[in-house]
Structure 1
Amino acid sequence: MATSTKTSTKGATKGTTGTKPAASDAAARTGTKTGVVDSAKRHKTRTVVISFQSKHPKYGKYIGQRTILQVHDEHNVSKTGDVVEIAPCRPMSKTKSWSLVRVVDERSDIAAAVASAKEIK
């Protein structure tokens, strides 16, 4: 029985060096995202809204879109209106598979003012 050896160059890259990506690419490599806490009514769970723009494939107009994610906040440190950084984690429930990394900017006082303004109306 004859054996043949095949060498495949599929997927091989020529001329690439082992340079490190820039520090600004850290978020892209780790999968972290930044969003605003929309709801903090549940214990250890926050609803975070991530807003972004995407280009329409046919017309080229930029369209504002958003993604709503359920985030695990172990120590209940974030409040409504805070800007937070989140990272993917193992699924903790049917809809919750993100965890809170840090609070980037606290804006809970503004959120409280908006909430009180809604109650007056």
Structure 2
Amino acid sequence: MNENTDQTEAQGATGSDTAVQAAESAATGEIAASAVQSTTGDRGYRKVRLGLVVSDKMDKTVVVSVEDRFTHRRYGKVIRRANKLKAHDEQNEATVGDRVLLMETRPLSATKRWRIVEIIEKAK
């Protein structure tokens, strides 16, 4: 009997470990797919985000809302969170409603650490 319970406990531990590994790999996959991109030279890795411009009232700066979606560990519900990031727009091309691609950069001001790489879709 003790051997059977030991085997059952071992299988239970393996099953929960597998679930944890699956959750971690899913989270890692999301991060790898949407957050980190390699660049050449000394610059190393820079994060990349896709977002929607919500304000363009500042000169050479836009506020971009970036949505983060993840699955709750215990309940499995998909949770959506949004962060507002200030991004550098050198030519003042982006307007409210544009979908843009951002890349992490050196601090340009007290709160601005992102720059617009390209405008994916213009507002209608």
Name the TM-score, length of structure 2 as normaliser.
0.62
Query: Which digits, 9 at most, give the CA deviation of each residue in 1:28-71, with x for residues without a partner?
Result: 32421110000001111100001131111221111111111000
Letter in 2 for 1:106: K
Alignment partner of 2:36 out of 28, 31, 51 = 28
Using the aligned pairs only, state the percent identity. Answer: 33
Unaligned runs of 5+ in 1: 1-24, 110-121
The alpha-carbon deviation at position 106 of structure 1 amounts to 0.3
Cross-structure match for 1:55? 71
Unaligned runs of 5+ in 2: 1-32, 39-46
Is 1:74–2:72 an aligned residue pair? no
Question: Structure 1 stretches (4+) deviating beyond 2 angstroms?
Answer: 25-28
Name the TM-score, length of structure 1 as normaliser.
0.64
SS of the aligned residue for 1:87 comes to strand
Q: 1:101 to 1:94 in 2, by over 3 A?
A: same
The alpha-carbon deviation at position 26 of structure 1 amounts to 8.8
